[in-house]
Amino acid sequence: MINLPLVHNAKRCDFVIVGGGAVATRKVRTLVKAGANVTVISPEVSDDIQALADAGQVTLQCRSVADDETYPSGAYVVLATENSGVNAVQAARARTAGASICRTDIQDDNDFIFPAVVDRSPLLVAVSTSGATPALTRYVKERLEAFIPDDYRRLASWMETLRSRLRDSRTSASRTGFWRRWMRSQAPEQILARRPEVAESITEQLLQGQEVSAGEVFLVGAGPGDPDLLTFRALRLMQMAEVVFYDRLVSPKILAMLPADAEKRYVGKARSDHSVPQEGINQLLVDEALKGKRVLRLKGGDPFIFGRGGEEIEELAAAGVPFQVVPGITAASGCSAYSGIPLTHRDHAQSVRFVTGHIRNDTCDLPWDELIHPSQTLVIYMGLVGLPQICEKLIAHGMPADTPIALVEKGTLPDQCVHTGTLSSMPSYVEGRDIQAPTLTIVGSVVSLHEKLRWR
């Protein structure tokens, strides 16, 4: 180990910052945030430092640092002037006085350095490459920022309170066992899902030595296909799953992000192949959760938009199985963004309507009159097979035959393809081509923006 990370109680530390430019400002900001006692010595300072000084949060000495400057013994001195010679002289002065120094201009003469910090106080994650490569430090920090949601503050505070409750009542060995069981229970996720009362009751049961089932269902929207469009919460819950039931629309790249040891079961529905009927899926979710498993129900897009997610959780609610629902980017949003077709636009459409073009008994039963509206965008899910019929009905009910229409094939995926035409041309266009599911249909004058706004 090249360096030793220690966590200081900043409130008990005196920092002297020599310099008032951009680097000094960054350090001062961090130190003030941590509650340190900060003095800045510099003839000129940034507006930020000046504002902190005006607010009484730092002591500002508006002067050049003296050649025979004296520093308090035990202080932490940050040398952040733009002049390396000055930094070197002051480093020697500070050390002579018994202070520790951090030079921001060189790496190999420091008593301490600042790590990058992911701040979810009381949880802190410090990242450092020991000064070797700030770019890598930043990169890792940014990744951690994304994976440790801000809500971890609440989780950490909650655990801190529980910890003080346990301190007097248990031996240290039994505390360790308790915490292991607690972390594996649903309690942490319940806190993150803002249901502290459920976490409280699980905690009580664990404290009384009762077995608590970890059985729970996460109904998660996986978005339209591009794994980059998953939400942080979706990814976190995916990584916790023991059993996964997934649909046809969940892309292989997303499936590859599931834990290797999770049991993965395909329950997808192609149009005519209902591999597991809906009632069967509902029951499977209940059964697995009641066995104590963490069950992930992973669905394409958003689970509550043409996803039958509502039916699945109705069953769970009836069986008393805990669940949570994670929204996903629905196909309409994904396809619209990735094809450069805004669903609303002040010059084209003030409203948007999502409908299903699913054909039942050879007909597509939609409230046609309501769909004909000049400033409304129409988004049709599951509309490929019924496309000729849909175009024909829209025209028959009064939509102009030259209304622009787009068919977004495999939206957001690497092989996405956007086909455009008009209500009258699209049926024959589709007939001669091998267009593959999933496809989403967008009807309305916004489609004309595709030529200008396409970016992929």
Catalytic, 393? Answer no
| All residues at 6 or more sequence positions from 368 whose CB lies less than 8 Å from its CB, including other chains | 393, 394, 396, 397
CA angle 366/369/372 to nearest 5° reads 105
Contact residues for ligand SAH, defined by CB under 6 A: 224-225, 249, 299-302, 305-307, 330-331, 335, 381-382, 408, 410-413, 438-440
Task: Give the residue with the Cβ less far from ligand SAH, 78 or 430.
Answer: 430
Residues 396 and 438: beta-carbon distance below 8 Å: no
CA 70/CA 54 separation, integer angstroms: 25
Task: Give the residue with the Cβ less far from ligand SAH, 217 or 382.
Answer: 382
DSSP conformation letters of 377-388: EEEEET-STTHH
**Closest separation in Å from C-beta 383 to ligand SAH:** 6
CA atoms lying within 13 Å on the CB side of residue 75: 22
Task: Give the residue with the Cβ less far from ligand SAH, 215 or 438.
Answer: 438
CA 232/CA 155 separation, integer angstroms: 16
**Closest separation in Å from C-beta 304 to ligand SAH:** 8
Catalytic residue among 247, 293, 302, 410: 247
Residues 203 and 162: beta-carbon distance below 8 Å: yes
| Residue 90 region by backbone torsions, left for phi larger than 0, else alpha for psi between -120 and 50, else beta | alpha
Amino acid at 396: A
**Closest separation in Å from C-beta 389 to ligand SAH:** 15
**Closest separation in Å from C-beta 424 to ligand SAH:** 22
Cis bond upstream, residue 122 (ω within 30): yes
Distances in Å between the alpha carbon of 333 and those of 277, 278, 300, 346? 28, 26, 13, 17
**Which pair of tokens denotes residue 21?**
């430019």
Task: Give the residue with the Cβ less far from ligand SAH, 294 or 410.
Answer: 410
**Closest separation in Å from C-beta 259 to ligand SAH:** 23
Task: Give the residue with the Cβ less far from ligand SAH, 325 or 331.
Answer: 331
**Closest separation in Å from C-beta 271 to ligand SAH:** 8
Catalytic residue among 109, 264, 269, 287: 269
Q: Which residue's C-beta sits nearest to ligand SAH? A: 301
Catalytic, 269? Answer yes
Task: Give the residue with the Cβ less far from ligand SAH, 404 or 411.
Answer: 411
**Closest separation in Å from C-beta 432 to ligand SAH:** 20
Task: Give the residue with the Cβ less far from ligand SAH, 60 or 382.
Answer: 382
**Closest separation in Å from C-beta 157 to ligand SAH:** 35
Task: Give the residue with the Cβ less far from ligand SAH, 30 or 439.
Answer: 439
| SS3 state of residue 356 | strand
Burial of 329 (0-12, 13-18, 19+ CB in 10 A): buried
Provide the β-strand partners of residue 244: 264, 296
**Which pair of tokens denotes residue 280?**
């069967």
Q: Give the catalytic positions in this structure.
A: 247, 269
